[in-house]
Amino acid sequence: MALLDGKALAGEIIAGLREEYQRIPKRLSLGAVVVGSDPVVAKFIAEKKRIADELGVDFRIYEYDAAISTNDLRANMAALVHQARLDGIIVQLPLPPAINAQSVLNAVPPEKDVDVLSARAMGNFSVGKSPVFPPVVGAVKALFDEYKINLRGKIVAVIGAGALVGKPIATWLLLEKATFTMVEEGGDIVAATRNADIIISGAGKPGLVTADMVKEGVVVIDAGTSSGSFSTDSTGSPQAISGQQASLVGDVDFESVSKKAVFITPVPGGIGPLTVAMIFKNLIVLASQD
């Protein structure tokens, strides 16, 4: 078993970004919309601010009360988009459950949508016309490139169809013409995982994937942490769920699964830091397109 060291790779990527950033003749700014005062949200934002500071990106936090309405938040977003000189905008998820998250996400124009979560950015990505990848896709691609893992001829199992992991990963696998199975919690997960060469889990459910469900030599990507703490209901409307536990634990029982896996991401230190690095990569790519 070899560890897919996302933390180390994220460090290398950020070092590379620092060089690319020097070629851009202005200081970039990234706005983060934060609603309420969830401690997990605060932790995610702190991590992004840390990387912004490291790179010299102007990171501006826009805080709103947890009781704000979807309409008021959208109105504030519109003002942000048009008035502030922001090169990128993120809406920190999860939002309070009363807010229609997708409606808010759609207020971010594609050229500033570093998270690729608006309908327009997702649409561009789904038809192969996006200059940037959804962060989790960029993270998985970076690991696959680094560790020479190839999709060709492989069977992939994707667990969870949430907006932050399963949906963008599935959309990417469609573009790649990969063979893959999507399965949700409550579906027959074992049927999908037992023959899979690669498992990508974003269910946000600790201990969901255990050793008896996987085959020897499997590649396991555990994205069921911070990124897994946000899902969409059957109509596609995102619903915030508590991310407290999910931010600390992945979907995979690392102790047992790592004994059968050829490659596996740890949690923390796997997909998480790479996803944050990809947000800044996207910021630089989008800003370079102006």
Closest separation between CB of residue 155 and a second copy, Å? 7
Taking contact as CB under 8 A, which single stretch among the options 13-21, 43-51, 77-85, 168-176 is the one that binds a second copy? 168-176
For residue 122, the surrounding DSSP H or E stretch is helix 119-126
Closest separation between CB of residue 160 and a second copy, Å? 9
Give the Cα separation of 150 and 68 in Å (integer): 45
Taking contact as CB under 8 A, which single stretch among the options 10-18, 31-39, 120-128, 221-229 is the one that binds a second copy? 120-128
Give the Cα separation of 263 and 244 in Å (integer): 27
Instruction: Kindly tell me which residue out of 167, 249, 250, 257 binds a second copy, with binding defined by CB under 8 A.
Output: 167
Q: Which is nearer to a second copy, 149 or 163 (CB)?
A: 163
Q: Binding to a second copy by residue 190, rule CB under 8 A?
A: no
Q: Which is nearer to a second copy, 23 or 177 (CB)?
A: 177
Taking contact as CB under 8 A, which single stretch among the options 71-79, 123-131, 220-228, 267-275 is the one that binds a second copy? 123-131
Two structure tokens written together for 213: 């469900």
Two structure tokens written together for 74: 């959208």
In one-letter notation, the amino acid at residue 233 is D
160: annotated binding-site residue? Answer: yes
Q: Binding to a second copy by residue 119, rule CB under 8 A?
A: yes
Q: Binding to a second copy by residue 58, rule CB under 8 A?
A: no
Who's near 162: CB < 8 A, 6+ residues apart?
202, 203, 204, 228, 230, 231, 232
Instruction: Kindly tell me which residue out of 22, 83, 234, 289 binds a second copy, with binding defined by CB under 8 A.
Output: 234
225: annotated binding-site residue? Answer: yes
**In 121-212, beta strands by DSSP E:** 155-159, 179-183, 198-201
**In the chain, beta strands by DSSP E:** 2-3, 29-35, 58-64, 88-91, 155-159, 179-183, 198-201, 218-222, 230-232, 238-240, 261-264
- Which string of x and - marks every residue 137-166 that binds a second copy (by CB under 8 A)? ------------------x-----x-x--x
Q: Binding to a second copy by residue 193, rule CB under 8 A?
A: no
Taking contact as CB under 8 A, which single stretch among the options 17-25, 138-146, 230-238, 267-275 is the one that binds a second copy? 230-238
Closest CA to 96 of 88, 104, 106: 104
Q: What is the largest CA-CA distance in the chain?
A: 54
Two structure tokens written together for 104: 């808010």
Binding-site positions for NADP(+): 160-162, 225
Q: What is the contact surface with a second copy in residues (CB under 8 A)?
A: 102, 105-106, 118-124, 126-129, 155, 161, 163, 166-167, 170-171, 173-184, 187-188, 191-192, 195, 232, 234-237
